[in-house]
Amino acid sequence: MTKAWLGTIILTASAVAYSTAGLFTRLIPVDAWTLLFWRGVFAGLFISAVIAFQERGKVWHAWRAIGRDGLAIALLSALATICFLNALRLSAVADVMVIDAMIPFFTAGIAWAVIGEREDKATLVATFAAVAGVGVMAGPALSEGRILGDLLALCMAVLMATVLVLIRRNRAVNMLPAVALSAFVCALIVWPFARPLSVSAGELGLLALFGTSQFGMGLLLLAIGTPLVSATRGALIGVLQTPLGTLWVWLAFSETPASATLIGGAIVLAAVVADIALHARATKS
């Protein structure tokens, strides 16, 4: 199995993990700040445990090795999460979804400027198709947006694109400590607004599952898979979380999505699958 194929599989798994956010937010009846605080704490602890097992006696060396880019990844990733939350609060979800789907385009531009990585036309076309698909999903609600929320969503997209490029630039360095730190930083930022001691034992258990299986596993797989494929392809695969998130809520809560959501989700899925298939064919030839 080539590195590109392995990276594709890992990043697809990361998108699946991230896509379960809607399930957990429906299941856990706590305010957003408290949810984000515990999610960050448990994700950071989970990834730190993986680092401790992976390095076995060289943990401090692994944390020091991330350098300035690692610190930047931690800070930018945490800020992106905060921007995303507030964008959802201040703008229409549809607007945020469309802007989020544009991360591959921002990634392509930043990757070309920072590391000289040029993306092939097939992936760029697939990215355009994926954005169009998300646009179809969000189309009926796009008129509900507000400018401040949209600007925050735009900041989130640029920040996450930069994170992906920085991970890609440092592909010889284990960046798990950087993403673990980003989870802790996110928890620290929202701490003043959260009520961490107000949750029940049952809610804390769900929050632990949320932090490890959704945020922690998503970050973990993102850090492992991104160095193995181009930054833009990694971002394109990440767009899968949008239609998958709708699918899980549909299956779990019997909330039938609108026709536009189903059509747009199918377009996104087809775009990503086509890109993967084309690259697999090119690798064999």
Is the predicted pLDDT of residue 272 greater than 90, yes or no?
A: no
Confidence grade of residue 73 (pLDDT, cut at 50, 70, 90):
very high
Lowest mean pLDDT among 10-24, 65-79, 183-197, 265-279: 265-279
Decide if 213 contacts 13 (C-beta within 8 A). Answer: no
Query: Is the predicted pLDDT of residue 254 greater than 80, yes or no?
Result: no
User: pLDDT-based confidence at 183, cuts 50/70/90?
Assistant: very high
Report angle CA 102, 229, 99 to the nearest 5 degrees. 10
Long-range contacts of 271-278 (CB under 8 A, 24+ apart): 271/126, 271/127, 271/129, 271/130, 271/133, 271/236, 272/126, 272/130, 272/236, 272/237, 272/239, 272/240, 274/126, 274/129, 275/122, 275/123, 275/126, 275/233, 275/236, 276/8, 278/122, 278/126
- Look at residue 274 and tell me if it is in a domain: yes
Which has the closest alpha carbon to 133: 104, 160, 97, 91? Answer: 97
User: 58: Cβ–Cβ under 8 A, 6 or more apart, which residues?
Assistant: none
**Close Cβ partners of 78 (under 8 Å, ≥ 6 residues apart):** 40, 182, 183, 185, 186, 189
pLDDT at 145: 54
pLDDT of 190 higher than 60: yes
**Section 262-271 average pLDDT:** 83
Mean pLDDT of the region 2-17:
88
22 found inside a domain: no
Question: What are φ and ψ of residue 66, in 5° steps?
Answer: -70, -25
Does residue 203 sit within a domain?
Answer: yes
In the prediction, which pLDDT does 249 show? 76
Residue 261 pLDDT exceeds 80: no
In a domain, 23, yes or no: no
Q: Is the pLDDT of residue 279 over 90?
A: no
With respect to residue 20, please indicate whether it lies within any of the assigned structural domains.
no
Query: Is 13 part of a structural domain of the chain?
Result: no
- Residue 28: the pLDDT is 87
Average pLDDT, integer, range 32-46:
93
Residue 160 placed within a domain: yes
Looking at the chain, the whole-number percentage of residues with pLDDT higher than 90 is 37
Mean pLDDT of the chain: 85
User: What domain range includes position 244?
Assistant: 28-280
Pick the range with the lowest mean pLDDT from 18-22, 54-58, 138-142, 149-153. 138-142
Confidence grade of residue 38 (pLDDT, cut at 50, 70, 90)? very high
Total count of domains within the chain: 1
